[in-house]
Structure 1
Amino acid sequence: MDSSVAIQPHIAVCPSAGIGHLTPFLRLASMLSPPPSTTNNSCNITLTLTLIIIRPTLSSAEENQINTFLSTHPHINSSHFQILPVDNNNSSNSKKQDPFVVHYDAVFRSSYLLANHLSTLSPQPSVVFSDLMLASGITKPLADLGIPNYTLISTSASFFTLMVTSASLRTTSGDSDSDSDGDEIPGLGPIPMDDIPPFLMSEPDNNMLTRIIDTNCRHLHETKGVLLNSFDFFEPESVSTLQSGKLLATLPPIFPIGPFISVGSLKGSNNISWLDNQPPKSVVFISFGSRTAMAKDQIRELGKGIERSGISFLWVIKTTVVDKEDKEELNDLLGEAFFMNTKERGLIVKEWVNQEVILAHSAIGGFLSHCGWNSVMEAAQRGVPLLAWPLHGDQRVNARVVEKAGLGVWERSWGWIGERLVKSEEIALKIQEMMTSEKLKKSAARVGEEATKAWEIDGSSKKMFGKIIDNICQK
């Protein structure tokens, strides 16, 4: 290709529902689309990019981030895609069905309409980057239109390995259950059955999320490639196994391009100026993500544990699954004594915060986290030690990655959310361990250094991202 000839590909970026899926797509969109005054060095291109916005959004956090992102990236276009109504009468629904999963189902059922929506954009996209939840509906129609589609995975390479393995087993045998605890999975090693979320061991007819994942995984071979928000150093076995084809010969090329580069403009609470007055590495940041709501008795024990630890803290507290419904008064929940005893060394924030800004602050010395993958990558990028408290979904597998890579520690006995009440004494000891361990500080700092190297010249993620740009140029 003549590098002197400028080309202008139109890229469409299509997230799914929920802030956990939206965040990596906003970062990817920012990475793919520099301002119009710049061009990519891989080839002389000027990118036009359209962000597809799923309507309706489920949380206030999503709405806030979309609005802030578009206002700070005026060169990025947007297009609204209205999904089908949520099906509250689905036979696999229970009364306690996760509202996020119900929303994922609506996105999944609407995905076949998205290809037509994309084809009506002007100009028609020359390449699409989409969420796994959309794969079954758009990959073949886009291929028929001659539009390559890349699938972005919003979890770890390790959990993606587990997902495609489970889906493949169900496809070939109709049963994903293992005969024994700790079966060996290529790229993942022996994994205790307790670390596998129940939905990955369910039959698709009995579990909505299982059906969504299995159906979409079966269409991955139709995609141009799979993007992972991870990097070689952090998950070497899973990444190399996925890329080798040893796990599943039908998988398309795998592109680990993490940690995704910070957008730097996401909206969050302004209360974190409190951190500016704290000593370096003295504060533990506590947050369990956008989807996790602990039981009130566990929140109270966590509060007592924070108080017992004697460590300064910034705690983002969440009392409902959907943030729009959160009306709990913190004084009623934690008691006035907690606030009196910790007012000199702690801050509680109830609204959504800009977590990447907090983790980059010099005062932060540790992170008590649920191990959602965005949180893990944000901590890895900055070398912040992590205390893993996985609560559901992919988080136990992610915690295994954190522990093995040296980024953090994990107390397995705390179990899944609601399995048992973790007492304040245990919590206090683990917080103190994370904040005082010199060994952990050094190993976490090394993870941060390797994350930086992944995006330097000749870094593994930078090379992979360059291959994607080259593919766009060739298209």
Structure 2
Amino acid sequence: MAETQPYGDRRRTPHIVLVPSAGMGHLTPFLRLASQLSARDCRVSLLTTHPTVSAAEARHIDAFFAAFPDIRPLDLHLPLLDPSELDCTDPFFLRFESIRRSAHLLPRVLADASPPVSAAIVDIAAASSYLPAVADMGIPGYVLFTSSAAMLALCAYLPTYLATKSTFGVGDIDIPGAGRVPKSSLPVLLRDPNQLFAKQFLENGQALPKADGILVNTFHALEPEALAALNEGKVTPDLPPVLAIGPILPAMSGEGESVSAPLAWLDQQPDRSVVYVSFGSRTAMPAEQIRELGIGLERSGLRFLWVVKSKVVDRAEVEVGLEELLGEEYLTKIKDRGMVVKDWVEQVEILRHRAVGCFVSHCGWNSVTEAALYGVRMLAWPMGGDQRVNAAVVARGGLGIWVEGWSWQAEKEPVKGEEISERLRDLMAAEGLTASAATMGAAAADVGGTSYQVLTHFIERLSL
């Protein structure tokens, strides 16, 4: 039956196709945005690329579609790439490239979608090839930038910065209106033009002006300067509107399998007493640093919940048990005030728990926005990629502290346990930081606030 509209109301229900790339850090905000758009009476389709890099992605996608049956999957089977041709071994960057090279398959998928597609929202990692493919079909194309507005400013400005140099090379980068990004905070792979990631980052940055708009999972109270610089044309004059729509609220019933043991353990702890430690879905620490972190947590005297990750891809490597990593003696020593797990945990459920007092994080952007949403102060310990840029946002916004001298992926010296324990005690005692994190949480959780209004206007525009 044909859809009817009230007399005089010419608005239509938009059909929005979301196109994520690889890795939980990219998939999670797309799943959340899909659920939010569906809840706001949009028709939503989610492009799913096969196969996934990790088993966690496959589990989350299956659980998501089971929880949200109104959201339609659109399958795209990726061509295989020869890693030796690309001089890259990182499975996620290889998958980014495979997705970028599959843009010629997108038109058929979108043409077969019903009803006709109103707009496509593509992952920044695929922007250079997918935005032109969408534009050729006459479909408005938007980018979802899955990191901070500060990182978006870097991505948008880098082509201009490099155009002023006779050879490819990066130093400290002064982004107009958005401040300086020191060379030490740049993703290491951006320093070598021959790296696959450097080529992807530059080409996707060059593609941003081709978008009809850029959606960012951030909010004004957290990044006012960066958002103003982007939208006032200071970073680059040809950028489309940047729409701050975050924090994109968690899809509580559709993001994955909750692990009950950590939550049950938290239920037994006093309010705001627990240090939660997690370094994301793809950040694996060397064994020596894992042991030093364990020493620091034990010596701090604090309660802690620690999610240990010793491998990058859950399908690719042999599992190492906690006893082998930390020793049975250690696990026995900390059992009365600490819990260590290697299973997947539902991080949102942990951060919103009354017992969690601070979060030791690598500063992946999803983790930062989740901590902001629940007003949890952070000890920022970036490990690579965009994480030092994000850690600077955490420190500037009063959400936590960042020890800038701590090592990351390009550096070999582990941070010693005693220094870790000192910083943890300092953080848990910082009442001023507790207050500023709570203030940030109130701004992030403001239903009907600026981000909600921006998303409302976005939907309304597509409904005309």
Letter paired with 1:60: A
Relative distance call for 1:208 and 1:130 in structure 2 (3 A) is same
Residue 245, structure 1, aligned to residue 245, structure 2: no
SS at match of 2:343: coil
How far apart are the structure 1 equivalents of 2:203 and 2:129? 10
CA distance in 2, matches of 1:350, 1:113: 38
Task: Give the Å deviation of 1:47.
Answer: 2.4
1:35-74 correspondence runs (5 A): 40=40, 46-74=41-69
Deviation at 1:332, TM superposition (A): 1.2
Using the size of structure 2 for normalisation, the TM-score is 0.94
Matches within 5 A, 1:161-310: 161-171=153-163, 173=165, 175=167, 177-178=169-170, 182-203=172-193, 206-265=194-253, 266-267=255-256, 268-272=258-262, 273-310=264-301
Larger deviation: 462-471 or 302-311? 462-471
* Counterpart residue number, 1:351: 343
Could you list the runs of 5+ residues in structure 2 that have no partner in the other structure?
A: 1-5
Indicate the SS of the match to 1:81.
strand
Deviation at 1:176, TM superposition (A): 5.2
Which residue of the partner structure matches residue 12 of structure 1?
A: 17
Deviations 1:414-434 (A, max 9, x none): 121343111100111111111
Contact kept in structure 2, 1:113 and 1:137, CA below 8 Å: no
- 2:373 pairs with one of 363, 369, 381: 381
- The 1:271/1:175 distance shift into structure 2, 3 A limit, reads farther
Secondary structure of the 1:322 match is: coil
Give the match's secondary structure for 1:250.
coil
Rounded Cα–Cα distance in structure 2 between residues aligned with 1:183 and 1:218: 17
Secondary structure of 1:245's aligned partner: coil
Per-residue deviation at 1:11?
A: 1.4
Q: Which residue of 1 aligns with 2:3?
A: none
**Aligned residue among 435, 443, 455 for 1:450:** 443
Is the partner of 2:101 in helix, strand or coil? helix
The one-letter code sitting in structure 2 at the alignment partner of 1:64 is R
Deviation of the 1:111 alpha carbon:
2.6
Give the SS at the match of 2:231: helix
Q: CA 1:389/1:326 → structure 2, altered by over 3 Å: closer, same or farther?
A: farther
State how 1:365-380 maps to structure 2 within 5 Å: 365-380=357-372
Deviations 1:244-281 (A, max 9, x none): 11211121111011111111122232222211111110
| CA deviation vs aligned residue, 1:284-307 (integer Å, no higher than 9, x gap) | 110000111111011011111111
Is the 2:398–2:437 contact (alpha carbons within 8 Å) kept by the matching residues of 1? yes
Q: SS of the residue aligned with 2:49? A: strand
CA contact 2:93–2:197 (8 Å) conserved in 1: yes
TM-score normalized by structure 1? 0.92
Q: Secondary structure at the match of 1:323?
A: coil
Of 398-407 and 135-144, more deviation after overlay is shown by: 135-144
**Residue 155 of structure 1 aligns to which amino acid in structure 2?**
S
Shift of 1:369: 0.2
Amino acid at match of 2:32: R
Q: Provide the residue aligned with 2:129 in structure 1.
A: 137
- Kindly provide the amino acid, as one letter, of the partner of residue 250 in structure 1: D
Count of aligned pairs: 454
Please list the CA deviations of residues 2-27 of structure 1 after superposition, one character each: whole Å capped at 9, or x if unmatched: 76456232211111011100000001
The DSSP-based 3-state class of the residue aligned with 1:347 is: strand
In 2, distance between residues paired with 1:7 and 1:421?
A: 57
**Alpha carbons 1:169, 1:175 under 8 Å: kept:** no
- Cα distance in 1 for partners of 2:318, 2:360 equals 22
Report the residue type matching 1:285 in the other structure: Y
Residue 99 (structure 1) aligned to one of 87, 91, 95: 91
Q: Which amino acid aligns with 1:143?
A: A
SS for the counterpart of 1:414 is coil
* Shift in CA distance, 175/117, structure 1 to aligned 2, threshold 3 Å: farther
Code of the aligned partner of 1:112: H
Task: Give the counterpart of 1:311 among 264, 277, 302.
Answer: 302
> Which consecutive residues of structure 1, in runs of 5 or more, have no partner in the other structure?
35-39, 41-45
**Cα RMSD between the aligned structures?**
1.7
